[in-house]
């Protein structure tokens, strides 16, 4: 399960609703070859026990599964739906076997069905490149496996919530969602958990060996070639003579661990529990995600950091001029402090140098935090989702 699958149910339950979360016994990344070294200490065993637990007011139901190619198919899903008898079912994938099962289950238990697409255009293009899937054969295969079933599923859903503006294009063109049913939404943040704390900032900096005058640049997540946090470490290393106050803090694990560790002014910590992440954001000054989107990018802005992203994240850049929030045109204005040219160490170095003055950072932080409070809190997102559920 990912971030939204954990946080949206919790927010809905906190509003007094009866919420069940059905998932498999598999942990996220369970089938990755480096799971044991990268995730097991943090997430536990890759396969969890079956059963139901109440966590944060949500009934979490784990069911067994089997795999078909890269799709994970939950066993007993229809039976569990018939047992729960829900009014609303919101699944976080549109075109897959589990969603087809949910369409079938509507025969026995009438409910409103909502789906989602969390694949942005950037992530989709990267996946195509990695799998060498640009030829006619793979195009036909995508049509048969995703577009055709997705178009059928689209007949039975109320809405498909797309996590970014460009994800709407992926949903409609690749996953067969009707344009009238695809709407853009936002990622979210727990504003009670992620907020500034100057006391933690001072004490944790001392504990980790950072000076009060240091400019700490943080990255959290997988230390992999795809995410490429190494480029941040290279920028920090490059600044060690001209701007020695810049320091790098990396939280995670992966194949780039050793290369990052070998560079100057860079500190690496293992993966942290979600509840423990705020203290590390609170002690930093700038957050950098060298590639791709992450809900953590909103977390850091809520905590009072400047955010530097790759200009490849077109979702943020293309909508910075929006003047108001609507559920059909999501936007991320004012939360990104600087963009840099993807995988360009020199340009990332210049982007960091542009944020070396505290006054400049503070003005950008104030703008970002206001946007987060108004739009990206899980409470506000849950309120909008409830309106979608009732109005559809």
Mean local confidence (pLDDT), 263-267? 97
Number of domains in the chain: 2
| Domain region containing 184 | 3-188+380-391
Q: What is the mean pLDDT of residues 341-347?
A: 94
Length of the chain: 392
Q: How far, in Å, are 2, 197, 335 from residue 192 at the CA level?
A: 19, 12, 18
Give the model's confidence band at 372: pLDDT under 50 very low, under 70 low, under 90 confident, else very high: confident
Same domain, 62 and 175: yes
Does residue 224 share a domain with residue 268?
yes
Does residue 245 form part of some domain?
yes
CATH number at 97 reads 3.40.50.2000
- Chain-centroid distance of CA 244 in Å reads 32
| 281 and 313, same domain (yes or no) | yes
> In degrees to the nearest 10, what's the CA dihedral of 381, 384, 389, 391?
-170
Whether residues 151 and 245 share a domain: the answer is no
Q: What confidence tens digit (pLDDT) does each residue in 52-63 have?
A: 999 999 999 999
Rounded Cα gap, residues 165 and 296, in angstroms? 18
In a domain, 39, yes or no: yes
**Position 125 confidence tier, pLDDT thresholds 50, 70, 90:** low
Q: Which residue has the higher pLDDT, 141 or 106?
A: 106
State the pLDDT at residue 324.
Answer: 34
pLDDT for 32: 85
Closest CA to 203 of 85, 283, 136: 283
Which tokens hold the place of 34? 């480096």
- Both 207 and 230 in a single domain? yes
Q: Are residues 85 and 101 in the same domain?
A: yes
Task: Please tell me whether residues 181 and 203 are part of one structural domain.
Answer: no
Query: What is the C-alpha to C-alpha distance for residues 301 and 281, in angstroms, rounded to an integer?
Result: 9
Q: Is residue 164 part of a domain?
A: yes
| 348 is a domain residue | yes
- 101 is a domain residue: yes
Query: Do 336 and 221 reside in the same domain of the chain?
Result: yes
Tell me whether residue 212 is in a domain: yes
Residue 292 or 195, more confident:
195
Shared-domain flag, residues 139 and 224: no
Q: What does R_g of the chain's alpha carbons equal in angstroms? A: 21
Nearest partner of 353 among 267, 249, 245, 261, judged by Cα: 245
CA distance 64 to 51: 9
Q: Is residue 254 part of a domain?
A: yes
Q: Is residue 368 domain-shared with residue 234, that is, in the same domain?
A: yes
Residues 331 and 205 in one domain: yes
Task: Let me know: does 171 contact 278? Beta carbons within 8 Å.
Answer: no
Best CA proximity match to 277, nearest among 305, 246, 256, 237: 305
- Please state the rounded mean pLDDT for residues 154-160: 98
Percent of the chain, pLDDT > 90?
65
| 134 contacts 128 by C-beta, under 8 angstroms | yes
The DSSP output letter for 47 is B
Domain shared by 177 and 265, yes or no: no
| Residue 193, in any domain of the structure | no
Decide if pLDDT at 329 tops 60.
no
pLDDT digit string (tens) for 63-82? 999 998 778 999 999 999 99
Predicted confidence at residue 301, as pLDDT, reads 93
Report residue 131's pLDDT band, with 50, 70 and 90 as the boundaries. low
């Amino acid at each position: 399960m990912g971030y939204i699958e954990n946080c949206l149910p919790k927010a809905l339950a906190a509003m007094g609703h009866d919420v069940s979360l059905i998932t498999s016994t598999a942990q996220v990344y369970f089938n990755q070859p480096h799971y044991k070294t990268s995730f097991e200490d943090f997430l536990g065993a890759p396969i969890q026990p079956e059963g139901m637990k109440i966590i944060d007011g949500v009934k979490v139901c784990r069911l067994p599964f089997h795999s078909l190619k890269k799709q994970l198919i939950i066993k007993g899903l229809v039976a569990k739906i018939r047992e729960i008898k829900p009014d609303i079912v919101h699944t976080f994938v549109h075109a897959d076997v589990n969603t087809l099962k949910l369409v079938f289950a509507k025969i026995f238990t009438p409910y409103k069905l909502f789906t989602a697409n969390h694949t942005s255009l950037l992530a989709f293009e990267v996946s195509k490149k990695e799998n060498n899937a640009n030829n006619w054969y793979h195009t036909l295969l995508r049509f048969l496996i995703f577009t055709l079933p997705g178009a059928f599923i689209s007949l039975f859903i109320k809405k498909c919530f797309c996590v970014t503006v460009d994800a709407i294009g992926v949903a409609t063109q690749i996953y067969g969602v009707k344009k009238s049913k695809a709407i853009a939404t936002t990622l979210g943040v727990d504003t009670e958990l992620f907020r500034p704390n100057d006391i933690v900032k001072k004490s944790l900096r001392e504990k980790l060996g950072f000076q009060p005058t240091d400019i700490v640049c943080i990255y959290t997540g997988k230390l992999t070639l795809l995410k490429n946090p190494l480029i941040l470490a290279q920028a920090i290393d490059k600044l060690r003579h001209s701007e020695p106050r810049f320091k790098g803090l990396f939280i995670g694990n992966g194949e780039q661990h050793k290369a990052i560790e070998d560079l100057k002014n860079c500190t690496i910590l293992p993966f942290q529990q979600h509840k423990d992440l705020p203290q590390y954001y609170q002690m930093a000054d700038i957050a950098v995600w060298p590639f791709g989107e992450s809900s953590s990018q909103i977390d850091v802005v809520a905590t009072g950091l400047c955010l530097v992203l790759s200009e490849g994240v077109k979702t943020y850049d293309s909508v910075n001029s929006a003047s108001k929030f609507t559920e059909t045109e999501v936007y991320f204005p004012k939360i990104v402090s600087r963009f840099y040219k993807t995988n360009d160490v020199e340009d990332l170095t210049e982007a960091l140098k542009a944020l070396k003055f505290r006054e400049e950072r503070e003005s950008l932080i104030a703008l970002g935090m206001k946007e987060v409070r108004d739009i990206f809190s899980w409470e506000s997102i849950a309120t909008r989702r409830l309106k979608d559920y009732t109005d559809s």
